[in-house]
Amino acid sequence: MLSTTELLVYHQQEPQQEPGGCLEVWVLTRAAFGILFWPLMALFGFVLAVVLVLFLFTVHPALALIPVAAIGAALYLFARWEQRHFRPPGLGPP
């Protein structure tokens, strides 16, 4: 049986070693950036397009229609692509 003095003694435990260390941090960071890559690229592209439109407005107002037309064409092509690949259920082939 343990005496009362032995119950109050602090015993230092060895730290538990888990495999991996910082590897989990890198895996989680890569997963987060993998998910956020395309939305961030879309955001940067949009900001770049706005800056380009504003710059072209300073050169000549008619030149600003070029990136606006390119954005419109890109949106149209994306909508057509999405319509082909993600059809509502119950519809036949295109």
Q: What is the C-alpha to C-alpha distance for residues 36 and 89, in angstroms, rounded to an integer? A: 29
What are the residue ranges spanned by the domains of the chain?
Answer: 24-85
Rounded to two decimals, the pTM is 0.50
Return averaged pLDDT per consecutive 10 residues of the chain, 94 residues in all: 58 66 85 92 90 89 86 92 80 62
Residue 71: how many other CB atoms lie within 10 Å:
16
Nearest to 69 by CA among 49, 47, 43, 39: 49
| Residue type for position 57 | F
- pLDDT value of residue 64: 84
- pLDDT value of residue 12: 73
